[in-house]
Amino acid sequence: MDSRTDPPDPHSGGITVQRALELPGLRGGLPEILAGADRLGRSVRWVHAGEVPNIASLLKGGELLLTTGYGLGTRPAEQRAFVRALAERGIAALVVELGPRFTKLPAALVETARGLGLPLVQLHREVAFVTVTEEVHTEIVNGHYALLQRAEEVHRRCTEALLGGGGIPQVLGILADFGGNPVFLETPEGQLLYAAGTGPANADPLQVWEGLRGRHKGAPPAGSVLVDVPGPGPDGGPGAVRARLALLPVNGPLAPVHRIAAERAAGVLAVVLMQARQEEELAARGRGDFLTDLAEGRVAAGDAPAQARVLGFKPGDGPLLPVVMRLADGLSPGGGWAVLARAVAEELASVGVPVLLGVRPVEGRVPLLVALRAEAERPAVADRVAAALRAGVERAGTQRPGARPPVVVVGVAGGWAAASAGLRHAAETATAAQGLPGRPWYDARRLDTDLLLWRLRDHPDLAAFVDRAIGPLRDHDNRSRPPLLPTLETYLAHAGRKAETARELHLNRQTLYNRLARIGELLGTDLDDPQTVLALSLALRARRLVP
């Protein structure tokens, strides 16, 4: 189709060659199109005038070049090379004013321009190049201003949608309507978060994303617009990419105005995502503060049910099960408590009982209350809750690499008064349980000895006690093999039952007897004496707490 009949592209923000020829400055020169009549819809980025042979090296592409022809050369080979260089540079058009240098453009020049598809225009009257430049540049600036106005209109509509109670779907819908193509919000890794708009024949945007973007994660389809949605960096400041907007040219091509509009929308989305994350974290912290206040007695048991209902927790008439998860090594840089709380809450939804979940970032704890129908459910529900908590932590991916697994402690089930004491006890024992052999969950009632020892961890008498009780064995294990402390620990864990100890250690009876005799010899004590067994058990549990 002859683009001379096409209207200027309203999305380009610039000016076409055709429009430039219609302005008074060039129109007064009686322009005649000798080549590239089908390319007059090209956008003109700038106007340049010059008379030097190597002028192509001074151009960047998209220019309308004005000349009187003194730099074209006198030989056909020079003229062909001149046009080829301009075409390779990607200029919009070559406009030559006839006069002293040429009364008619050389055939070599015209034929080369036609072969390369470069618009070539000769002017039959003299024109003021400065006037042409001013007119074209004014049109370009006005076009960019109109483009910016269109993009700002999208920004205004997005802002109004948010102020009216809308969210991400409304923002993406406005952008999709403006561009006439589906719009997607992805993670920086390319996973789909939201989609809006329709594909060809009203196809679902999810199908479009799966079919197009899903096949082009490394290199999106040509003509796509990808814009980063900024977010906080690891130190809380700017610099990270929170998400990415993807506009795919499914129903039609995308223009510069669509990128500008997407950039404006990305700023709005950054605010929405940050606000949603802050609100989610603040809500989780608020629930954590309530549970902590309940545990520490700042909320009376009689007032607790009403406050819990405000937070969305409606447990019914059954007992309440206090649970505390502690993250020993905190969260990774950039890892958020909102992300963790959301992942854990989604996993807990499969447990099938009401749960009030909070976070306490300062202490690195996740406290929760679980509603039971009966006390007998405690072990089974505790298993499911502990599994959901650990799955949520793993799914959130917020723990530091190489971090110790989280500790889950389950308290005693009961009413609101019992829940208060149970939360406090579970929180304390969760801290004391750090470093114990890994279990899916710990019963808080069985950690009282560890809690007592943990409270004495900084007292010099505890270190002295451990040294007196098992110091000779530690010295032995530092010098000799096989180590004897694991044997003693397993023996005491099985309450002195030698057959079970031998099976767990994969030893024959005589080897075990020899090791136990050697332990008694080094410690100068009788392993059958109850007081000795108690002291050794305490020392073994306390050794992780002292240097």
Lowest mean pLDDT among 275-279, 282-286, 485-489, 518-522: 275-279
Residue 220 confidence class, pLDDT cut points 50, 70, 90:
low
Compute and round to an integer the Cα radius of gyration of the chain: 38
Count Cβ neighbours within 10 Å for each residue of 16-37 and write b for 16 or more, e otherwise: bbbbbbebebbeebebebbbbe
pLDDT tens digits, 31-49:
999 999 999 988 888 899 9
Label residue 67 by pLDDT band (50, 70, 90). Answer: very high
Q: Answer whether residue 459 shows pLDDT above 60.
A: yes
Mean pLDDT of 470-485: 91
Among 271-285, 320-334, 394-408, where is mean pLDDT lowest?
Answer: 271-285
Rounded CA gap, 439 and 406, in Å?
A: 10
What would the pLDDT profile of 400-412 be if each residue is shown by its tens digit? 777 788 999 999 9
Q: Cα–Cα distance between 162 and 165 in angstroms, integer?
A: 5
What pLDDT is recorded for position 502?
93
441 vs 435: which has the higher pLDDT = 441
Domains of the chain from N-terminus onward: 3-140 (3.40.1390.20), 167-276 (3.30.450.40), 300-455 (3.30.70), 460-545 (1.10.10.2840)
What is the C-alpha to C-alpha distance for residues 442 and 435, in angstroms, rounded to an integer? 12
Question: Residue 5: is its pLDDT beyond 50?
Answer: no
Cβ-based neighbours of 385, under 8 Å, separated by 6 or more? 321, 323, 348, 351, 355, 368, 370, 408, 410, 441
Residue 547 pLDDT class (50, 70, 90 cuts): confident
- pLDDT at residue number 81: 94
Most confident of 113-122, 244-253, 263-272, 344-353: 113-122
Residue 212 has pLDDT above 70, yes or no: no
> Taking 90 as the threshold, does the pLDDT of residue 321 lie above it?
yes
Distance CA 379, CA 358 (A): 22
Q: 120 and 24 in contact (C-beta within 8 Å)?
A: no
Q: The pTM is what?
A: 0.51
* pLDDT at residue 9 in the model: 44
**Ranges 153-162, 314-323, 420-429, 528-537: which has the least confidence:** 153-162
Residue 12 — pLDDT band, cuts 50, 70, 90?
very low
Closest CA to 326 of 405, 256, 268, 263: 405
Which of these, 108, 53, 107, lies nearest to 85 by C-alpha position?
A: 53
Task: Report whether pLDDT(3) > 50.
Answer: no
| β-strand partners of 31 | 123
CA distances from 215 to 323, 453, 482 (A): 45, 58, 57
pLDDT of residue 125: 93
What pLDDT, on a 0 to 100 scale, did the predictor assign at position 235?
Answer: 47
Average pLDDT score, the chain: 85
Reported as a single tens digit per residue, the pLDDT across 222-232 is 778 889 888 76
Secondary structure of residue 57 in the 3-state scheme: helix
Per-residue pLDDT tens digits for 523-538? 998 998 999 999 999 9
Query: 351-388, pLDDT tens digit by residue?
Result: 989 999 999 888 889 999 999 999 999 999 999 999 99
> Over 70: is that where the pLDDT of 213 sits?
no
pLDDT tens-digit readout, 257-273: 888 888 888 888 888 77
